Amino acid sequence: MNNPDKTETTNTTPTPLRCLTGSLISGGLAIALYSLTSAIAQTFATKPIHSDNPAVINIASAVRTLVVGITALGTGIFGLVALGLIGLAIQILIQQATKKGSPS
């Protein structure tokens, strides 16, 4: 019988193809988030806050800063992940090349 507490784990080793595929996906998300960040920042810049109340201006400014900051953070994270996966693919290729070149 199947025990719901036991989970099957599979160990898959990273390959350069998997790393590059993940890097392409992450890079695509980074580009999409960059364009979203740019569009949000331009929209906020073209629409000023219309209020005489300083508290409203401060809160609106803080919310705008948080929204742009969160999308910029997502852009940076996905961009760094893409670069890291490319680096991992290069490292794996170098390790495979040195294993083939060295006598056993």
pLDDT computed for residue 100 by the predictor: 82
Domain extent listing, the chain: 19-96
Distance, in Å, from the CA atom of 20 to the CA atom of 23, rounded to the nearest integer, reads 5
Q: What is the pTM of this model?
A: 0.79
51-102 residue pLDDT tens: 999 999 999 999 999 999 999 999 999 999 999 999 999 999 999 999 887 7
19 Cα distance to chain centroid: 14
Alpha helices in the chain (DSSP H): 16-46, 54-101
